[in-house]
Amino acid sequence: MAFSFKFPKFHESVLDNGLRLILLPDHEQEGLVAALQFPFGRFCDESGKEGVAESVIALLQKGTQQCHFDQFSSMLEFEGASLFAEVGEEHTGIGIRMLSKSHKNLIPLFLEMVMMPALDTKEFERIKKEMVTSLHAETAEPSIIANRHFFVELVGKSHPAGRFHSLDAIRKITIDDIKKFYAEHIGPKNAIMVVAGDFDVSEFNDMYLKSIQQWNADKQTEPCFAPLVETSKKAFRLIDKDDTTQTTLVMGHCMPGELSPDRRPLALANYIFGAGNFSSRLMTSIRSKVGHTYGISSQIAAERIFGAFTISTSTQNNQLGAMIDAILEQYNELCLNGITAAELDRAKKFATGNMAFQLEGIGSIAEKLMWLRFYDYPDSYIEQFDTLLNSITLDNVNDAIRRHFLAEKMIIIAVGKKVEIAEQLKKFGIFTGYHYRDKI
């Protein structure tokens, strides 16, 4: 599949305060997006107070020092604008979508929201209550339980990937913690701001550049990236949840992160193994042929340096042993023989088409530019994506599989009714037992 893309003309500069500013005019539609990306995420949370990063971003959207929340919300509603935010593991984005004609009212409001937020105590307490309510629901969700046990087993509690929101942690967070985190992490240094849509660059600079340049934060800390997990060993956990007729299963091990030279070959291999929907080996063999589950997939979670490979599914309690056997059969086949040339070609075609889909619309292009800058990739990474993929050979992929898909490091987590599944698990190893309400 042919791939052709060229970024539209944009203006990029790094200001004296450390902010990277990208202005991307596009006059095809009367919309405008302004977004900021910061080099922090959940991994920056203090141990024992997980949830601070998300709380800060939620609280930013609750008004400014000059504009209380009700007035703030009314202004957004009146202009037909909306805020958006996403807190990742290592980076966080927050932005605003508006009609371009509204920028004179809303760009200053957005900048004020980020630079001079209200950080109101009452709004913070409301956010905490919402988080506690959400956590109560999560504590009984088998997929969340399984994933948390997996990462704790993989990296331990001292690694940021092994720490999670908990009721105790959320309740410990104070408004002082919020203000401290804001002072240390929300600022221009190493941040990226993209403005994209129907606007004039000269007018934008005349109206807003001075305010952006005056933004400063003396206490800002450096970005925090989770370290690579060099080693892990086989481990097995059974989490008893006696009200279930199905067992939730997560299997996996460590993987290198985004900046690894093996990242692209591994992504292609994973597409064939379990990420390719109904065409993947896991879905074809286990769902379509054996019928043990309605859905099964594999993922590679890749942060900057740290990464993890997981296989996720659920099955009837009485089929758990057969399910694990079937998964391990496919996994061992991948480790032993790799993928075929035809499969690699199919994976490359999907990756090319998916990249084209990711670049639809000016907002998506803005997101992709922030992604490139965060990982220090050149624009040619996207513009010559087909060339990059075509340079990956079958030997490259299968060599990466041999280096990183390692059966001797497989972790197996099963969440289900112990009395119905424990006997089936004995042949795979010794499983450490937990109750689903146990703190981890």
Give pLDDT < 70 ranges for the chain: 1, 231-232, 288-291
User: The domain 11-214: what is its CATH number?
Assistant: 3.30.830.10
CA angle 283-284-289, nearest 5°? Answer: 110
Q: What pLDDT, on a 0 to 100 scale, did the predictor assign at position 277?
A: 81
24 φ/ψ sector (left φ>0, alpha ψ -120 to 50, else beta): beta
Q: What pLDDT, on a 0 to 100 scale, did the predictor assign at position 335?
A: 97
Q: Give the HSE-up count for residue 1: Cα atoms under 13 Å, Cβ half-sphere.
A: 15
Q: What pLDDT, on a 0 to 100 scale, did the predictor assign at position 238?
A: 99
Q: What pLDDT, on a 0 to 100 scale, did the predictor assign at position 288?
A: 64
Q: What pLDDT, on a 0 to 100 scale, did the predictor assign at position 259?
A: 97
**Residue 326 to residue 292: CA distance in whole angstroms:** 9
Tokens of 60: 């930013």
Beta-carbon contacts of residue 266 (< 8 Å; ≥ 6 apart): 255, 256, 260, 300, 400, 401, 404
- Strands across the sheet containing 11-14: 11-14, 20-25, 192-197, 31-38, 92-99, 82-87
**Residue 151 to residue 228: CA distance in whole angstroms:** 13
Q: What pLDDT, on a 0 to 100 scale, did the predictor assign at position 64?
A: 97
Q: Where in the chain is the domain with CATH 3.30.830.10?
A: 11-214, 235-435
The values of phi and psi at residue 439, to 5°, are: -75, 135
| Count of other CB atoms within 10 angstroms of residue 3 | 19
| Count of other CB atoms within 10 angstroms of residue 130 | 12
- Domain covering 235-435 assigned CATH 3.40.50.300 in the classification: no
Q: Is the whole model's pTM more than 0.75, yes or no?
A: yes
